[in-house]
Structure 1
Amino acid sequence: MNPAFDTYIQSLAGRDVTVIGAGVSNSPLIRMLCSAGARVTVRDRNPALPREEWDILGVVLRLGEDYLDHVGGDVVFRTPGMRPDHPALESARAGGSRVTSEMEEFFALCPCPIFGVTGSDGKTTTTSLIADMLADGGRTVHMGGNIGTPLLTRAGEMSPLDACAVELSSFQLMDLTRSPHVAVITNLSPNHLDWHRDMDEYTAAKRRLLDFQSADDFAVLNGDNPATAALRGRGQTKYFGGHTLHDGVIDGLLPISDIRLPGWYNVENVMAAMTAVRGTVSDEAILETVRNFVGVEHRNQWVATVGGVHYYNNSIGSSPARTVATLHAHVGRVLLIAGGRDKKVPFDEMARLLPDHVKVLLLIGEAASQIEAAVRSVPCCPPIVRCEGLAEAVTQAHKLAAQGDTVLLSPACTAFDQYRNFEERGRHFVDLVGALHRPDGKD
């Protein structure tokens, strides 16, 4: 079905290939390389990595603190969380290795149009909307990238008539040398400054989504976000935003009242997806998707209403800007659970919003003191409760909330101080809220 992919697989036989990182997202890649006949070395910091499957496949493992010593081979796959200019990768290049990534290889081999999505917030929702709109329009759709399963291992089953909806993080974009047919940038605000050197580098990484487009390609940009609107692509540019809304109807097609997702930021996500696919699928397909789309797990997800108190899981809210956007989506009294590991992004803007939106602030994690300092510098700041962890925060919120209140987990920080990822944190929150229903809970 994809001759280019078949040729690529054949070219791997007998090659020395190194994969850095043996996490869930890289496991299918490792299996594919082994089945192609490559001699595979996997390097991972975790010394206790389960070995049985890799031993059966003949994978050479380099584990522990020195896992990046003497990286080499014909091809080296960089894990997204590793900077492209890491000394181990620079040394590998100097030794003749071709350093690449799963996403770089996929873009080179994908036979169908790619709808690529990046931005500081809204990536997953927008990507999911695009995928659903394309599917409702009759296309066979493959979704992945920063969400879902790796796409490279599925490229062999793709045809030119299909479509791909791909979410891309700044980590993945740092050294990407290809652009999608349709490049969507939802917005830009300070994020991941614990990884990027500064905001300029972060913005440059996001801009790479546009840098390799041709005159036949499209950039879809947020006209209401100055940092995004200032970007320029090599192809045609379409803007979404408030200027497309007239008399409650978006772009002459979609009544804003048909959108089931809360908050203006979700209206922008819908606008971005509509702009990306309009002309590719029918207007009827777009309307069908929007009217049926109720959101993505961990993204302002309603969990339960207990004793008249509404519980929402926004564990994806790992930056202050995302928490600000989510607070704007809630009307009424909010008990906000925030904290975790910060991204070296200031909390000042979020702090200024809290007096008007938050009844009680419950703080957890490594960044609790930083958030508290920012909030206490604001006049009329809400009461602050310091908690040992998420379990105590949910218990305290349950005691303090009154009927009609909302308890919102939107941490404004990453989960890595206590959890493997934001999904694990979100699931823990959902489980804790679920326990409130049981006989040993208050309700």
Structure 2
Amino acid sequence: MTRADAFFESIRDRNVAFIGLGVSHADMVKLFVRKGIRVSVLDKRTEEELGKTAADLKMLGVTFVAGRDYLKNLEQYDVVFRTPGMKYYLPELQKARENGVVVTSEMEMFFDLCPCRIFGVTGSDGKTTSTTLIAEMLGAQGRRVHLGGNIGRALMPIIDEIQSDDVAVVELSSFQLISMRRSPDVALITNIAPNHLDMHKDMQEYIDAKKNLIWHQNAFSKTVLNLDNEITRSIAPEVRGQCYFFSRREPVRYGAFLGEDGYLYMADKKGVHKLFSREDIRLPGIHNVENYLGAITAVWGSVDAENIHRVAKEFAGVEHRIEFVRETGGVKWYNDSIATSPTRMIAGLNSFQQKLIVIAGGYDKKIPFAPMVPSVLEHVKTLILMGKTADAIEQAVTGDPNYRHGKPKILRAENMEDAVGKAHKTAAEGDVVMLCPACASFDMYRNFELRGRHYKQIVESLPEQQ
């Protein structure tokens, strides 16, 4: 009997509830129903708003509590799965815990029951690309890889399919990590900078959530930290297993680094290994060199150098991360919808040598925009602002002592169609237009993926000529 089998057997007579009917929970509910467990779904949307998914689950015998009071009586359940986007310290969840309810999450359960080795990645920026690179490298080595977490699909619903000699590669957000009590076998923290301060009590809680990636490791585990980031560098004394660093600024004793000659190197107990030139990396930008350094360090010892190099030359990138959309009338259009913070905008802007036309703005995560202003002044010639944060971004830019009127030119847009239309009208042959919001999407879209796809749809519909 597997650990998963034993778990489902142990809760067969329990009353289980799932908060929020997202894609991952819909699959989880079906799994639990198949295991013969009583399941309820709690969602603030009505059953009519939930549509066919809710109707299909009701046919399976699932009970629904929908509408405004969906969290009113959590004490009646034995086990509650919270959605990752829900604040961990929500009063209703706190009260449920105090009354003996087990409050957990899909990812916590997966870590408890996963039969194979886990590579876990977190960070404020670069975690999606880094996670994907690790999966690509392990796949190139011939391993059967399960990619999920905050990227791809939920992994708990396929727990029965995962074998002990497989490998799981998971991206983990601070929302997922805040309640984790297990850590991966290999942990990579790409960097830590202010983010999601609308959801966390303060910056320290956000940092501590990220640290949960490593706090529960053992002596045989591996931790990879960014030497160039002050916060991640300071975490090193808390590492319980092997500690590796990566750096694009200086050599490291154990880990990957960028040499002065432009080559990537890996240092381990056997010495320093020269890998390949940064020019071989297909993805643009120095931040992607950093992503490779972290991913290389994570997989070193599990993936041959030749396969790492092959991925560097062939991997074309992650959707929504400086993704080339099309060229029309000599204007190139890029989608960087995943840039949901000021630091991600900085990375996106620094990926180009020329000045850009940038569409920015969105939901307010209570992060200051001042740190990105120098990059905006240096790399942007036209800034098109939309969404809730438009005023705050414009004030940050125009209030900077180095700002000169019209440099950049600042335009306002009502929505994405208006923003792309203004960019299309403004752009001339040789220009680059990029959606690089520096903000989350929740004021207009359910997630950054939908925002990026809508942007691409509008750009694809533009006429061939200006």
Report the AA paired with residue 250 of structure 1: L
The alignment partner of 1:322 has SS state of helix
Q: Distance in 2 between matches of 1:361 and 1:98?
A: 48
Report the AA paired with residue 418 of structure 2: E
Q: Does 1:225 align with 2:247?
A: no
TM-score of the superposed pair, with normalisation by structure 2? 0.92
Q: Distance in 1 between matches of 2:33 and 2:280?
A: 48
Q: Does 1:404 align with 2:404?
A: no
The alignment partner of 1:253 has SS state of strand
Per the TM alignment, residue 382 of structure 1 is displaced from its structure 2 partner at its CA by 1.0
Report the AA paired with residue 295 of structure 1: G
Partner of 1:279: 301
User: After the TM superposition, which residues 206-245 of structure 1 pair with which residues of structure 2 at under 5 Å, given as runs?
Assistant: 206-232=210-236, 233-242=239-248, 243=250, 244-245=257-258
Pairing partner for 1:347 from 353, 364, 369: 369
Q: Distance in 2 between matches of 1:318 and 1:370?
A: 15
Per the TM alignment, residue 263 of structure 1 is displaced from its structure 2 partner at its CA by 0.6
Pairing partner for 1:64 from 67, 70, 86: 67
User: After the TM superposition, which residues 330-341 of structure 1 pair with which residues of structure 2 at under 5 Å, given as runs?
Assistant: 330-341=352-363
Q: Distance in 2 between matches of 1:382 and 1:249?
A: 35
Pairing partner for 2:55 from 52, 55, 58: 52
Per the TM alignment, residue 421 of structure 1 is displaced from its structure 2 partner at its CA by 1.0
Q: Distance in 2 between matches of 1:356 and 1:145?
A: 36
CA deviation profile, 1:35-58 (whole Å, cap 9, x unmatched): 111111110011122231121111
Partner of 2:411: 385
Stretches of structure 1 lacking an aligned partner (at least 5 in a row): none
Larger mean Cα displacement after TM superposition, 80-89 or 314-323: 80-89
**C-alpha RMSD of the superposition:** 1.2
CA deviation profile, 1:38-80 (whole Å, cap 9, x unmatched): 1111100111222311211111111111000011312111110
User: After the TM superposition, which residues 34-433 of structure 1 pair with which residues of structure 2 at under 5 Å, given as runs?
Assistant: 34-47=33-46, 48-50=49-51, 51-72=54-75, 73-232=77-236, 233-242=239-248, 243=250, 244-246=257-259, 247-251=261-265, 252-378=274-400, 379-380=403-404, 381-433=407-459
Q: Distance in 2 between matches of 1:5 and 1:24?
A: 21
The alignment partner of 1:211 has SS state of coil
Do the aligned partners of 1:12 and 1:37 also contact (CA within 8 Å) in 2? no
Report the AA paired with residue 377 of structure 1: G
Q: Distance in 1 between matches of 2:312 and 2:448?
A: 26
Per the TM alignment, residue 91 of structure 1 is displaced from its structure 2 partner at its CA by 1.7
Do the aligned partners of 1:112 and 1:164 also contact (CA within 8 Å) in 2? yes
Q: Distance in 1 between matches of 2:385 and 2:50?
A: 33
Report the AA paired with residue 300 of structure 2: R
Partner of 2:9: 10
Q: Distance in 1 between matches of 2:244 and 2:94?
A: 38
Stretches of structure 2 lacking an aligned partner (at least 5 in a row): 251-256, 266-273
Report the AA paired with residue 158 of structure 1: I
Per the TM alignment, residue 95 of structure 1 is displaced from its structure 2 partner at its CA by 2.0
TM-score of the superposed pair, with normalisation by structure 1? 0.97
Per the TM alignment, residue 15 of structure 1 is displaced from its structure 2 partner at its CA by 1.7
Q: Distance in 1 between matches of 2:276 and 2:35?
A: 48
Larger mean Cα displacement after TM superposition, 281-290 or 105-114: 281-290
CA deviation profile, 1:243-295 (whole Å, cap 9, x unmatched): 22222211111221110101111111111110000101211221121111110
Q: Distance in 1 between matches of 2:63 and 2:124?
A: 37
The number of residues matched between the two structures is: 439
Do the aligned partners of 1:259 and 1:291 also contact (CA within 8 Å) in 2? yes
Q: Distance in 2 between matches of 1:260 and 1:281?
A: 19
